[in-house]
Amino acid sequence: MAAAQTRALVAARWLADAVKSNRVGPNLRILDASWYLSQINRNAKDEFKQTHIPGASFFDIDECCDKSSEFDHMLPSKGEFADYVGNLGIGNNTHVVVYDASDFGSFSAPRVWWMFRVFGHNSVSVLDGGFKSWLREGHPVTEQYTKPQRTEFKATFNGSWVKTYEDVLDNTKTKTVQVVDARAKGRFRGVEPEPRANIEPGHIPGTINMPFASFMDKTTGLELPVEELSKLFLQAGVDMQKPFWVTCGSGVTACHIALAAHLCGHLGVCLYDGAWAEWFTKAAPEHVISEGKGKQP
């Protein structure tokens, strides 16, 4: 068990063994963190009620968030996070395994992995290949759910990992930090629509595009080997010896870049949590780079 706690990824077979040997409990919690963009006609909560990994609880990123923000699922306060995960039976000594049921293999799970780490909990792993791999390998599923007993969780907050609009705006002038965007190429270029109303596609000046799906095997959904991940960063022009920040549409898929970087040994990747939704809303038209119509003055 101890060895698995330091791994950012755990295999479906490892988790299946843990489920089979009744290790799910105060020392090991499984979270289904499925979340979908509005245009994908799937209801993550309803799907969880119908089928999930035995012993799993549902983690709702639209519930565990800063509800005072005008932007979707921004990070909650450390107190709100501690209360939310404590209600899921997670304490400071709990190994947390996060997955989602995306067709990609992983979509939103790395966001929750990153959230735990920014709130001081490093004993967290993403299920490699997600529910997709779990099902492909023929592991058991259930519709049964037993609410875990509440546990106390004490959170800290690593604010240096979270970047604001002002931080990113300043960086467009100083160009001191690399910024990497996880959205699909068409949205980044400005030629495919954004999923949110009143937000046009495009990108922050000077950013590098690394679509989140490129980190996973297209067939299995498994994370690519470290050598291949390193090659992707190199090909994209990201210098892994220097700091970089990540962004996307609303702070979810950017965490795929953080996870891939972590696997390559680059542990301190920072997130622009407001991401493109905030940037487009606040930025001057000249700071919206697009091959489409961009932002009108």
- 103 and 132 in contact (C-beta within 8 Å)? yes
What pLDDT was estimated at residue 6?
A: 58
pLDDT recorded at residue 3:
38
Nearest to 211 by CA among 162, 250, 175, 247: 247
Residue with tokens 């996870």: 259
Beta bridge partners, 208, equal: 180
Give me the pLDDT at residue 21, please. 97
Query: Which residues does residue 97 pair with via DSSP β-bridges, in sequence order?
Result: 30, 125
Please state, in angstroms and rounded to a whole number, the distance separating the CA atoms of residues 93 and 51. Answer: 27
Q: What is the separation, in whole angstroms, between the first and last Cα of the chain?
A: 56
CA distance 61 to 75: 9
Q: Which two tokens stand for residue 249?
A: 């549409």
* Tens digit of pLDDT at every position of the chain (297 positions): 333 335 999 999 999 999 999 999 999 999 999 999 877 889 999 999 999 999 999 999 999 998 998 888 999 999 999 999 999 999 999 999 999 999 999 999 999 999 999 999 999 999 999 999 999 999 999 999 999 999 999 999 999 999 999 999 999 999 999 999 999 999 999 999 988 888 999 999 999 999 999 999 999 999 999 999 999 999 999 999 999 999 999 999 999 999 999 999 998 899 999 999 999 999 999 999 999 888 887
Instruction: Tell me which residues are annotated as active site.
Output: 248
- CB-based contact 120:126 (threshold 8 Å): no
Indicate the residue type of 139: H
d(CA 59, CA 100): 10
Query: What's the pTM?
Result: 0.95
Rounded to 5°, angle at Cα 38 from 32 and 39: 120
pLDDT the model gives residue 221? 97
Q: What is the pLDDT of residue 4?
A: 38
CA 189 to chain centre: 22
Write the CB contacts of 168 (distance below 8 Å, at least 6 apart in sequence).
179, 204, 245, 247, 272, 279
Show the domains of the chain with their CATH numbers. Answer: 2-157 (3.40.250.10), 160-287 (3.40.250.10)
pLDDT at residue 195, as a whole number: 87
